[in-house]
Structure 1
């Protein structure tokens, strides 16, 4: 999972023209593993006879760089689609994983990769399970927009912050966490997802 998360992160950063010279802490090790911290979160959503009156997991963005999610064969994950302002179910597929862009990738990319607002719904008759691999940077590393992605037309949108500090900010401000570390308004075409605006499906 560490290798997978690192590979995905570099595919995303590489698409922005970022190299390992630009993000020293994120350079892959010789064995292919990735420097960073991670956690595994296991979620259980029992069947609910009246799902309209219950919420499996409230709408939120992840505090991670990336979250790699495995779902059981019961639907429940929903994302808010960019521009549509409606929730869309992400159906489970055997052998497939779902990848969420997290708030720290949002910061690292200076808003080029918006974090994904998502939620989990309960099922009327079926128990649902999910396993999330939460990938982030080393705890001592301050995450801020990569300098290569900052210029006169694209000012630095967020202040430097460690993952530990950001988790504390998220606990305090929840859906306004990104806004609380923002230095300037998003550039045209990108909206801070923690302002409850539409987001890109990751």
Structure 2
């Protein structure tokens, strides 16, 4: 099946991984490079670690975004207890029988619920992955998953989402400060609530990577960039995340257990006029007998806004925009039309 023949991602249904004993043809990736098949500690890359309490934190974040497109954040204010509780909710969700999870299957045209990765439509093969996306309150979905006990799970997830939103607001302010964007300009770009949808601009994606009979022949998440301002990732796994370097190819990341990984998305690449880069990344499967997971918080501009490069008109070194301005909602469509490669399509 070619990627032109695959149904929309919202209509793709994850495998019933609990009953899989051999990898189906639909999930076999035959041409994975050798590096993806094993972890060599001396070839793992350590990305910058930034302390949110550092007096020079805006500069540290900005330089990491310029040089790496991502960084690890410590002292971020999200308690270990809350992270562990939220992770446990996610594990309980994915441990449910397939028939129960299917009650919340993402409907065509809606981004919430049980799902496969949205990038599935760009590839001929499917990924060793199941997900659950939450845009606002999880109550409706959780009622279907846990009819008699949903409130306890909702309270934990809501607290995590609100804490992550507060952290994201703080980070975007620090990033815009580094770029020389004033508070007044930032408020125009990122009002808290979208006046059209009435919802905040964030999405939480729970990702599960089930045990696999032969991890060397599958991919957890294929190569992609994030359609966000930035993404904040908690990994409940030591290995698997890789980034692409033009000289070295795919490089596995070494991570600290007490950090959140922050990676730049397409919209900040546009706003920064290419100073920051939305770095291609992917997730490889390492485990044969253990399910692993991650929690990704996507932070993005309102869908009605037009996003364009921020070039200071009175700067001593005037900049020329290298990207066309684009409406946020239209950019999602442009990226989909170009098989996940949105930035080249708007490059001047």
TM-score tier, shorter chain, comes to 0.7 to 0.9
How far is the alpha carbon of 1:120 from its aligned partner? 0.5
Cα distance in 2 for partners of 1:118, 1:99 equals 12
The RMSD of aligned alpha carbons is: 2.4
1:69 aligns with 2:209: no
Paired residue for 1:96? 259
Residue from 115, 121, 124 that aligns with 2:278: 115
Paired residue for 1:191? none
Cα distance in 1 for partners of 2:260, 2:302 equals 24
Paired residue for 1:182? 347
More helix by share: 2
Cα distance in 1 for partners of 2:260, 2:238 equals 14
Instruction: Indicate the structure whose relative CO is greater, using CA pairs within 8 Å and at least 6 residues apart.
Output: 1
1:132 aligns with 2:334: no
Cα distance in 2 for partners of 1:43, 1:3 equals 22
How far is the alpha carbon of 1:74 from its aligned partner? 4.0
How far is the alpha carbon of 1:121 from its aligned partner? 0.5
Mapping 1:6-17, distance limit 5 Å: 6-17=169-180
Cα distance in 2 for partners of 1:50, 1:28 equals 46
Q: If the length of structure 1 is used for normalisation, what is the TM-score?
A: 0.78
How far is the alpha carbon of 1:112 from its aligned partner? 0.5
Aligned residues: 177
Cα distance in 1 for partners of 2:263, 2:200 equals 17
Q: Which moved more, 1:162-171 or 1:131-140?
A: 162-171
Question: Is the CA contact (8 Å cut-off) linking 1:36 and 1:136 kept in structure 2?
Answer: no
Map Cα deviations across residues 73-99 of structure 1 (whole Å, 9 max, x no partner): 342111124x54332222443332111
Q: If the length of structure 2 is used for normalisation, what is the TM-score?
A: 0.47
Map Cα deviations across residues 146-198 of structure 1 (whole Å, 9 max, x no partner): 13279775311112223221111111113431111112xxxxxxxxxxxxxxx
- Corresponding residue SS for 2:166: helix
